Chains A and B, each alone.
Chain A
Amino acid sequence: MTVNQAQALIRAVEEADSSSRLLEAVQHLSAARVTAAIPTLIAALGYNNPGAAVAAVDGLILIGEPAVVPLLELLDGYNYGARAWAIRALAGIGDPRGLDTLLDAAKNDFALSVRRAAARGLGKIRWEELPSEQIQPAQERSLEVLVQVSQDPEWVVRYAAITGLQELAKSLILSHIDSALQILAHFDRRVEEEDNLAAIARIWLAQKEIQDYTKEILNSQGDETVSTLDIDWQATLEKLYARKRREEPLREGDPRKFRELAAAICSAIA
């Protein structure tokens, strides 16, 4: 797309004189996926036109990373109408710079549609984009907030928190098995306490998705095939721990290092 084409699409949004023309213009601009569109799409979040706002959120998610800072700046301002839409866009992008905003929104926003979008977004954070020493503390904070939000008074917010916890458990399964296990134990408790059938079904699905993902990890690396229909978590965890140990470089002084050395010496002597 040339600069002129992009400018024409932006002008079409600015000059739209009816709500249906505005919607159409925002859809076209969103589909173009150009960074020059960011200010115009962000402005469209505040036009009090839900159709245009949905299209603008889609467009901002497509653009992704370059839209994060402008979105965070918008949230610092006073445009409450645009706030909910900006949270949705941040949730869809998954950039870890939005983490604090999503944590706060999931826990404290008065609008359930914002809490639910933020809870969903916490499961989509791309943790690998954080400096490595910040990943674990950030995941721990998200885990704590999602556990709390999974007990929100509104069923749809609890439902969203379950999707967030599911994705978080998958991110944690190799790096911090204990935290992943904590999520599975939390699901076991919640499914007993939950009275909403849709939320219960979503917990069942989350349990299955985490199982399937775990099997996939183990099977893909030539570990023993996990084929039991009902996964035995105890045995599976042993395998995951073994897998994790293999992937960690051995520390100085680790007896296994000595064993390798001894074996090398033995074979050299022989």
Chain B
Amino acid sequence: MSELENLEAFETDGSGNGESLTVEAAIANLSGTDLGQRYYAAWWLGRFRVSTPAAVDALIATLSDESDLTPDGGYPLRRNSARALGKLGDVRAVPGLIACLDCTDFYVREAAAQSLGMLGDRAAVPKLIQLLAGGLEAAQPIPGCPHLAQPYDAILEALGALGAAEAFSSIEPFLQHPTELVQYSAARALYQLTQDPVYGDRLIAGLKNDKLQLRRSALSDLGAIGYLPAAEAIAQTHAENSLKLISLKGLLEHQIDRSPFERLSEGAIRVMALMDDLL
């Protein structure tokens, strides 16, 4: 949901936001002594897509940082660096991110799984499948814990994005997970692996869920898989127009990608008509 950051919740222009940095200063701050500045610099490099080799190297180096550790065992800098590296598109980050999947901090594992899905390097597939071992039984909610044992939704989505067909049987049970968000992630991944409308339709059903947060999630998933039969349901679901527009943009881009020799396919025109009405 990276693009969400740019929308309603954070409407102000990013360039006018917070401390303004230069690329050189951000890279220098990453290895400085001020923990606050290091944390901010990692976020800043990702936000402004600074993908120079020096920036990527500096971020990779912080993935094993030990200095920024919270009392409850969190690694804030590692989390931000892992998130930033996903946005920078440099596959040199893949080994470091795979190592992060073993980190003791759940949120570092989550950020690493998301970024590995974005970087598109299949080297991460075996390790991601391994994290699903134990299936549904290991993935039950833990009383008193705000998250599951593993960041299952991020792992499932990454496997879908990486086209890991060999993960099908590991993913499939998660359609029955007690948490709807995890079910949606499984449906999204399975659609990407099989193009079977059963899974896309499962997400369309999610657009009718009573909970706004789940409808938003289904919007994001449908946009990510570019599922054209969902277009009208997306336009009609009860959620913010901005989120519907992002979801439909995913459908539109998918239509263009799949018919590169036809500028305006029937599907693309249909989606744009819906988008126009949501502006």
Identify the A interface with B (CB < 8 A): 50-51, 110-113, 116-117, 119-120, 153-156, 159-160, 163, 197-198, 201-202, 204-205, 208
Contacts and interface: CB of A to CB of B under 8 A. Distances in A.
Contacts of B263: 201, 204
Contacts of B276: 120, 163
Given A204-B264, A205-B264, A156 B245 contact: yes
Given A111-B11, A113-B8, A120-B279, A202 B272 contact: yes
Contacts of A197: 252-253, 256
Contacts of B179: none
B240 interface: yes
B238 interface: yes
Interface string B250-279: 001100100000011000110010011001
B208 interface: no
Contacts, number: 54
A110 B272 contact: no
Q: Is the interface of A mostly helix, strand, loop or mixed?
A: helix
- 9 closest A-B pairs by beta carbon, nearest first, are A120-B279, A198-B249, A160-B279, A197-B253, A111-B11, A204-B263, A198-B252, A116-B279, A163-B276
Given A156-B245, A197-B252, A205 B8 contact: no
Interface residues of B, number: 24
B169 interface: no
A201 B242 contact: no
B236 interface: no
Given A154-B6, A202-B272, A204-B263, A51 B238 contact: yes
Contacts of B240: 50
10 contacts: A110-B13, A112-B242, A113-B241, A116-B279, A154-B6, A156-B279, A159-B279, A198-B253, A201-B252, A201-B264
B172 to A, nearest CB: 32
Contacts of B272: 201-202, 205
A110 B12 contact: yes
B152 to A, nearest CB: 31
A112 B13 CA distance: 9
Contacts of A117: 279
